[in-house]
Structure 1
Amino acid sequence: MSLAQSPPTGASVRNARLVSALQRYGVLIALGLLILFGTLRYENFLSPYNITTVLSYNSMFGLIALGMAFVIITGGIDLSVGSVAAFASVVAALLSPHGLWVALIGAVGAAAVLGLINGAIIAYLKILPFITTLAMLLAARGLALILAGNQSVSADYDHGFTTLGQGSISGVPYIAILLFVAFAIGAVVLRYTRFGRRVLAIGGNEEASRLMGLPVERTLLTVYTLSGALAGLAGVILASQFGAGQPTEGLGWELTAIAAVVVGGTLLTGGMGSIGSTLVGVLLLGVIFNVLNFENGRGTISLTVYWQSVIRGAFLLLVVILQNRLTRARAEP
C-alpha cells in the first residue's frame, strides 16, 4: 500500500515561488544592480558613447546567442558559430565591392548553407550535435583561411558596405537596432508560432514529439540553418564594423553565446527557454566586461584581454551550478 503524499506546506510553496522567481527574473535583477553600481561608481558609465559602444560591440554576440538559444532549447548545441561568423566576415569583405546588399545576402546565405549541413547531419544521419558542429568548426575555419589567403581581407569603403557596422540614426547604431529587432522577432516566433512550440516540444522530449507526429527532422534542420544564418549576419557586422574580414576571429564566441543563453535561464537539457532573457544575458555579460574595463581605466585592477576568457569560463560554470541547484530545489516538494 502506498502512503498518501502530504500536501505542501506554506513554507514549501513560498520557497517554490522564490526559486521560480529567481530562475525567471534573477538575470534581470543582476543586470539592474550592475548598472546601478556602474552609475554610482563611474562618471561616464551612462554616457551615450558608452551605451552605444556596449551595444555595438555585443551585437555580434547577441545575434549568435539568439540562434544558439533556439538550438539549446531543442536540446542541441552549436560549437561552429564562431568559425562560421569568421567565414562569413571573409565572404562579406570579398563581396563588399558589389555593395552592402550583395555582401549581406551572399555572406548570410553561405553561412546558412553551413548551418543547413549541420542540421542535415544531425537530423537525418543522427550524429550527435557536439560532434557534428565541432567538425564544422574546423571546416568553417579552414574555409575562411583558404578564402582569405591566411590574412585579413580589407572591405570596400566606397559602395556603402561599412554603413551597416559604422552608421547610426539619431545616435543609435544600425547594428543595435538590428539586434533588438532580431530578438523581438525571435521572441514572437518562439512564443506564438507553431514552429516555436515544436522547438520547445522537441527539447522536452524528442521521441514523444516524433510519436505525436511533429516534423522533428525538419524542425531541427531549420533551427541549425537559422543558427548558421545568424552567425553569418554577425560575421557581416564584424567585417562592416572593423572594415575587414577576419578569418582568425570568432575564437570562443560559441562559449560566449552559450553563456548568455544559460545565464538567461535556458536549460542546457532543452525544453525550456526565453528569448527575452537571452538578450538580458547578453547585456549582462557585456556590462560585466564594461565594468572591468572601467576598473582597468581607474587602475584598480589590471586585467589583460586573456583574463576575459578566464572570467567568462568561470562565470559560465558558476551559472550552470546555480541553475542546477535551482532546478533541483524547484523539483523538491
Structure 2
Amino acid sequence: MSATRTETPVTTASNEPTDVTGPVGSARSERLSALVQQHGALAVLVLVSIIASFSFDSFATGDNVSNMATGSAFLAIVALGMTFVIITGGIDLSVGSLFALGGVLAAWGSRHGTLVALLLPLVVCGLIGVVNGLLVARSRLAPFIVTLAAMLGARGLMLAITDEGANTYLIGKGSFLAELGQGTTLGVGNPVWIMLALFVAGAVVLRRTRFGQHVYAVGGNEDAAALMGAPVARTKIVVYTLSGVLAGLAGALNAAWLASGVTILGNGMELDAISAVVIGGTLLTGGLGYVSGSLVGVLLLKVIQNIINQIGSLDSSYQLVVSGAFLALVVVAQTWLGRRRQLM
C-alpha cells in the first residue's frame, strides 16, 4: 500500500499578485498608451516652447506670440475640417487649393459688400466639398483620387478668375471684412477668436452629438457602422462639405488679413494640415482622433517654424525637414501603440 503524497503550494512572503502582465497591468499599459497618443504632442509643444523661451529673447514676447497665434489660425481652421475627414478614414488633398480660391473669391466679392465676400467662398468651396463627398460616398471612388482632381480643378478656377494670376483683387481698408481679418479684440487678433470658437464647436459636435458618434463609427469600421444603422454615405458627404467650407473660410479670413486675394498661397497647405492632424494624435486609418490634438499639432508646426526663423542661419526648407521627421516619428509611434493595444 503506497502512501499518499500531498504537495503544499509554495507561497511567497508577500500576498500581492506577482503577475504584472495580467488584467491590471494590461489596463494600465492601455491607459498609458492612450494618454501618450492623445497628449504626447502637447508635452512636446510645452517642452520645445520652454527651451525656445530660454534660448531666444524674442520668442516669448507678446508681439511674437501674437504673430504666431494669428498665423496659426488659418491653418488651424483648415486642419479642423481635415480632422473630421481623417477620422472617417478619408483624406482631402483639395484644401490648399480651396484655401487659395476662397481668398480670391472673398477679395473679388468685397467689391459687392462684406456679405458677398464671406458667403461666396463658403458656398463655392462648400459645393466642391459636396462633390468630393458624393464621389467618395456614392460612387465609392478613392478619396485620394477624388480630392486630387478637386485640388487641380479649384486651382484652375482660381487662376481663371485672376487671369492666371495677373489680377490681384484688393480689400478696402476700413471695411468690416478688413476689420475681421486685421482687427483685435482684447489684444488678440479676430482670426484667433474665430478659430477658437470653431474648435470649441467642433469638439462639441465630435464628442457630444450623434453625428460625431457616426464619424467615429464610420472610421472605425464602415460595415459595422452600416449594420448599426449609421448613415455612412451622408456622414462622408457632410465631413467633406465641412472641410471645403472651412478651407474657404480660412482663405477668406487670410485675404482679409492681407487685404488682398493672393494667388500663390495654399501650395502644400494640405500636407501641413494632414501633418498637424496626425501629429495631434488622429489615426490616418480613421476611427480615432481629437480636435484639440489637431490644434496642438498646428501650434507645434508654427513654433518649429518660428524657432528656425529665430536661428536666422537656417532657411525655411529646414522647417519641411523637421516637420517631415516629426510626422514620420508620430506615424511610427501610432503604429507601435496600435499594435501594442491589440495585443493587450
Matched, 1:318 2:318: no
User: Residue in 2 aligned with 1:249?
Assistant: 265
Query: How big is each residue's C-alpha offset from its partner over 1:218-254, in whole Å with a ceiling of 9 and x where there is no partner?
Result: 1111110000000001110221111221223211101
Query: Are 1:21 and 2:32 matched, yes or no?
Result: no
Q: Distance in 1 between matches of 2:101 and 2:222?
A: 31
Aligned residue type for 2:30: A
Aligned residue among 118, 121, 125 for 2:135 = 121
After TM superposition, list the pairs within 5 Å mapping 1:1-333 onto structure 2: 8=22, 12-151=26-165, 153-158=168-173, 159-296=175-312, 302-333=313-344
**Identity percentage over the alignment?**
45
TM-score normalised by length of structure 1:
0.92
Deviations 1:301-327 (A, max 9, x none): x22223323332232222111211222
In 2: Cα distance, 1:241 partner to 1:191 partner: 32
Whole-angstrom CA distance in 2 between matches of 1:239 and 1:214? 38
CA contact 1:155–1:245 (8 Å) conserved in 2: yes
CA RMSD, 1 decimal = 1.7
Question: Partners of 1:284 and 1:169 in 2: how far apart?
Answer: 24
The TM-score with structure 2 as length reference comes to 0.90
Tell me: CA distance 1:39–1:307, structure 2 relative to 1, closer, same or farther (3 Å): closer
Deviation at 1:216, TM superposition (A): 1.0
Give the superposition deviation at 1:12. Answer: 5.0
**Secondary structure at 2:97 match in 1:** helix
Contact 1:154 1:245 in 2 (8 A): yes
Unaligned runs of 5+ in 1: 1-5, 297-301
Contact persistence 2:162–2:168 (CA under 8 A): yes
Shifted more, 181-190 versus 276-285: the winner is: 276-285
> Could you say which residue in structure 1 is the equivalent of 2:11?
none
2-side partners of 1:114 and 1:314: how far apart?
A: 32
In structure 2, stretches of 5+ residues that fail to align are 1-19
Matches of 2:224 and 2:26, distance apart in 1: 31
Deviation at 1:160, TM superposition (A): 3.0
- Distance in 1, matches of 2:208 and 2:186, equals 32
Q: Distance in 2 between matches of 1:303 and 1:153?
A: 31
1:63-118, Cα deviation, whole Å (9 max, x unpaired)? 01000000000000000000011111111110112233320111111110111110
Offset, 1:330: 2.6
Distance in structure 2 (CA, Å) of the matches to 1:197 and 1:145: 39
